[in-house]
Amino acid sequence: MALISMAVLTALTVLTGLSITCLLCLEPRQIRRTASEFGPRLRTVAPYLGAAALFFVTKRATHEYSVELSHALDWDITAELYAIEGEFVADLQHAVPGATLEFFSVMYMFGFPFLVVTAPILYFLLPSQRHLKELLIAYLLNYFLGAICYTLFIAYGPRNHLSTVDGLMYDFYPSTQDLTGAVSANTDVFPSLHTSLAVVVLVFAWRSRREYPRWFPIAAFVTAGVVFSTMYLGIHWLLDVVAGAALGVGSIYAAERFVDRAEGDAERGQGREQDSVPDSDEEDGITSDVSD
């Protein structure tokens, strides 16, 4: 029951955040136009949605086998991570006021899924689907490379390795562990996918700041909270965060190259030109890469 309760609470919280963000960032005419072009737009991004969905279903179906293989390989790098960075996370926990625990727990549990869900919805509402295509490929690459690392390497977070680090969120809100444990193993540490995917969303928010000027500060605030919370809560090492940030940036670069090849360089130029049209233009003057 605790797992179901946490899943429902997460869904409701993300939906609330998404609704508020849409109210702040969208204009009614965007929604009307998206409704009128829903079918063509969906067909445009369907191969990308299909590839992402197929991967996530496969990943979920093979999760237990991945964990078993990881333990069979037994390449535990936890000691190496600690040897490089030492007591950084412990010092961080001691330096940050305990009154912030609720805030950073919310960032970790709800801020992360809010970012991952809100970004593709906002980009589907743009006339050009270029941002969405690249975002979906970046998501897929993050999870794919992350799954490889989690299979190859066993790494326990600071809360599991150091007596000087507390598992703050899990100690004070034990029901949160039911949800996180259902989607990942406690050795899924290096790199931090919370960091990598949050960084991906942040970079895309920066790129789309002309279309959505209010989305970037929202994404920046939540991303900062998510990334910091992974360390403050004792879940990830600083090295996990650094590796996650590098993975996020690298996946964006690779996604651009992939979509270039899939769509053609000419379409890329056309899509960027379309995306550069300010949202405040007259509706009839906005171009689209969707064709009926």
Q: What mean pLDDT is predicted for residues 208-213?
A: 93
Instruction: Compute the average pLDDT of residues 202-224.
Output: 96
Banded model confidence at residue 268, pLDDT cuts 50, 70, 90: very low
Residue 24 pLDDT > 90: yes
Percent of the chain, pLDDT > 90?
Answer: 64
pLDDT in tens, 157-192: 999 888 888 876 776 666 666 566 656 777 889 999
What mean pLDDT, rounded, does the chain reach?
85
Q: What percent of the chain has pLDDT over 70?
A: 84
pLDDT at residue 132 is higher than 50: yes
pLDDT average, residue stretch 132-137: 96
Q: Is the pLDDT of residue 283 over 50?
A: no
pLDDT score for 288: 42
Q: Between 63 and 92, whose confidence is greater?
A: 92
Count of Cβ atoms closer than 10 Å to residue 168 Cβ: 21
In this predicted structure, the answer to whether residue 194 has a pLDDT above a threshold of 60 is yes
The confidence score (pLDDT) of residue 290 equals 44
pLDDT tier, 2 (very low <50, low <70, confident <90, very high otherwise)? low
Stretch among 120-129, 225-234, 266-275 having the lowest mean pLDDT: 266-275
Measured distance CA(176)–CA(158) in Å, rounded: 18
pTM of the predicted model, to two decimals? 0.86
Is pLDDT of 248 > 90? yes
**Which of 21-25, 37-41, 144-148, 278-282 has the weakest average pLDDT?**
278-282
- pLDDT reading at 48 higher than 50: yes
Q: What residue has token string 């369907």?
A: 46
Query: Is the model's pLDDT at 287 over the cut of 60?
Result: no
Residue 25 has pLDDT above 70, yes or no: yes
pLDDT digits (tens, 9 = 90+) for 67-94: 889 889 989 999 999 999 999 999 999 9
Question: Can you give the pLDDT at residue 20?
Answer: 96
Average pLDDT over residues 193-221: 96
Q: Cα torsion at 69, 71, 73, 74 (round to 10°)? A: 170
